[in-house]
Amino acid sequence: MDNNFLITTKDLTKIYTMGHEKITALDNVDLNFKRAEFAGLVGPSGSGKTTLLNIVGSLDVPTSGTVEVLGKNVEHLTHKQAAELRNQHMGFIFQTFNLLPVYSVFENVEFPLLLLGMPAHERKKAVMDALEWVGLADRSKSRPAQLSGGQSQRVAIARAVVKKPELILADEPTANLDAENSHHILQTMEKLNRELNTTFLFSTHDEKVIQYLRRKITLFDGRVAKDELIQPEKSKEN
């Protein structure tokens, strides 16, 4: 596989068995992603977007085919190795934010760094930098329950970027946000992509997100129906 690619999938197939029925979520998907891409998987519900995102995120394994992420074959990783890969190189952004309710904003963002074992003084600086990026430095002591949806998602973004991962996987990140918050969030992510060269891979069917993408991969019935590069100018116009 080409070492220039951050992610490479080859003949990736995922079949779920539900009772006696077999459902093909992904069918021989071949995709490559370079570093610093701002790409999105789009398509209707059940097209395999989230399944592909989960496999790339080493949260799931393919039924057949290969997936190489950051030089590691996901299908061969043990639970521990997969956890290390996620911990050291990936950030996740979820549709429902998934913040830890008992932690403050600061502690939520700090959490991945604690798992990394980063020293306290470095941790504090990294967390405050991340919160500055998303414009929530003044809410560091708040609890998730005290934040709006937009603010919560920005905390989730800060948590994803705080360790400066090579790859951030965002599953429907704007689904629970209004238009204004969605644009704010996407602009933040685009800025991080530019400034930190972080690769973003979205799963979405939200038009607002699609407007910001520089690469759009359309999935349909588990297959890649279309893979198109979008002109940066178009993205900027939007």
Partner 1 sequence: MVIFKLAFRNLVGGGLRTWLNALVLSFSFVLIIFTQGLYRGMDERVSRTMIEAEYGGGQYWQEHYDPYDPLTLQDAHAPIPEYLQDLISEERALPVLVLQGTMYPEGRITPVLIKGIDPGQKILNFPSEALRNQEEELPALIGSRMAKSTGLEIGDYVTIRWRDANGTFDARDAMIVHIMKTTVQSIDNNQIWVPIQTLQGLTDMPGEATLVVLARDEEAGKSLSGWDFKDHDFLLSDIKYMVQSKSIGATIFYFILLLLAMLAIFDTQILSIFRRRKEIGTLIALGMTRSRVIRLFTLEGALHGILAVLVGAVYGAPILIYFATKGWAIGQSFDSYGFALGEKLLPTYTAGLVLVTTLIVLIVTTIVSYLPTRKIGKLEPTEALRSLT
Specify the residue for token string 């394994």.
Answer: 61
Q: How far is CA 100 from CA 156, 185, 201, 222, in A?
A: 10, 20, 23, 32
Handedness of CA 111, 115, 116, 121 (dihedral sign): positive
Distance of CA 210 to the CA centre of its chain: 15
The window from 113-121, 180-188, 194-202, 217-225 that contacts partner 1 (CB under 8 A) reads 113-121
Q: Which of 38, 92, 106, 202 binds partner 1 (CB under 8 A)?
A: 92
Q: How far is the CB of 183 from partner 1 (least distance, A)?
A: 25
The SS3 assignment for 10 reads strand
- Which 44-73 residues touch partner 1, going by CB under 8 A? 54, 57, 59-60
Q: Are strands 38-42 and 167-171 parallel, antiparallel or unpaired?
A: unpaired
The SS3 assignment for 46 reads coil
Beta-bridge mates of residue 31: 9
Q: How far is the CB of 230 from partner 1 (least distance, A)?
A: 28
Q: How far is the CB of 60 from partner 1 (least distance, A)?
A: 5
The SS3 assignment for 206 reads coil
Q: Which of 20, 101, 180, 231 binds partner 1 (CB under 8 A)?
A: 101
Per-residue x/- track, 22-41, partner 1 (CB under 8 A): --------------------
Confirm or reject binding of residue 173 to partner 1 (CB under 8 A).
no
Q: How far is the CB of 188 from partner 1 (least distance, A)?
A: 20
Residues forming contacts to partner 1 in the complex (CB under 8 A) are 54, 57, 59-60, 79-80, 83-84, 86-88, 90, 92, 94, 96, 98, 100-103, 111-112, 114-116, 159
